[in-house]
């Protein structure tokens, strides 16, 4: 009974799109980072959609605590067997926490991009910046359109 309730609760927070899952309670940038807003702080990571397209993450480079971030600017990189990609900040602000577990276990992003695979927590300079990010439905449509464009090429 308990696991059935847990599964129902989890399903209510997910929006499934093809193989990748989109979390309902977070915002998304066009560069495929997610941002979970809690007051003036934001937890940031890469979406499962991005992780699926990049491949399995084998290395992560993240900023130091205290680093100042600018919305849209790169704050780190993820390496897969296929490529190295920049991670962009969806908001401006100061890094107040870094997921140091990713240094020794970058694979946490592969299995749990929204929970254990979070990257940084940022204290926002301007909370209104999150208004420019997409909700889960907008992001799902954005990903579908992007995949349709890729299929045409």
49 and 19 in contact (C-beta within 8 Å)? no
Mean pLDDT of 119-138: 95
Helix (H, G, I), strand (E, B) or coil at 145: helix
Q: What is the pLDDT of residues 7-64, one digit of tens each?
A: 333 333 333 334 456 777 899 999 999 999 999 999 999 999 898 888 899 999 999 9
Residue 102: other Cβ atoms inside 10 A: 24
Residue 127 binned pLDDT confidence (cut-offs 50, 70, 90): very high
Q: List pLDDT tens digits, range 71-125.
A: 999 999 999 988 999 999 999 999 999 999 999 999 999 999 999 999 999 999 9
The whole-number pLDDT of residue 4 equals: 37
Say how many residues make up the chain.
153
Distance of CA 98 to the CA centre of its chain: 14
How confident is the model at residue 11, as a pLDDT?
35
DSSP 7-30: HHHHHTTEEEETTEEEETTSEE-T
Rounded Cα distance between 142 and 137, Å, is 9
Q: What's the rounded Cα separation, in Å, for the pair 98 and 17? A: 29
């Amino acid at each position: 009974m308990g696991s059935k309730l847990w599964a129902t609760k989890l399903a209510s927070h997910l929006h499934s799109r093809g193989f990748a899952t989109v979390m309902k309670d977070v915002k998304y940038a066009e560069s495929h980072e997610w941002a979970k807003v809690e007051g003036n702080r934001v937890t940031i990571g890469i979406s499962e959609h991005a992780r699926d397209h990049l491949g399995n993450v084998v290395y992560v480079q993240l900023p130091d605590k205290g680093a100042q971030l600018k919305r849209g600017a790169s704050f780190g990189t993820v390496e897969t067997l296929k490529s190295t990609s920049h991670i962009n900040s969806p908001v401006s602000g100061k890094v107040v926490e870094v997921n140091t577990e990713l240094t020794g276990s970058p694979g946490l992003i592969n299995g749990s991009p929204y929970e254990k695979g979070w990257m940084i927590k940022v204290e926002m300079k301007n909370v209104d910046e999150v208004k420019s990010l997409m909700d889960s439905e907008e992001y799902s449509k954005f990903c579908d359109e992007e995949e349709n464009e890729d299929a045409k090429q």
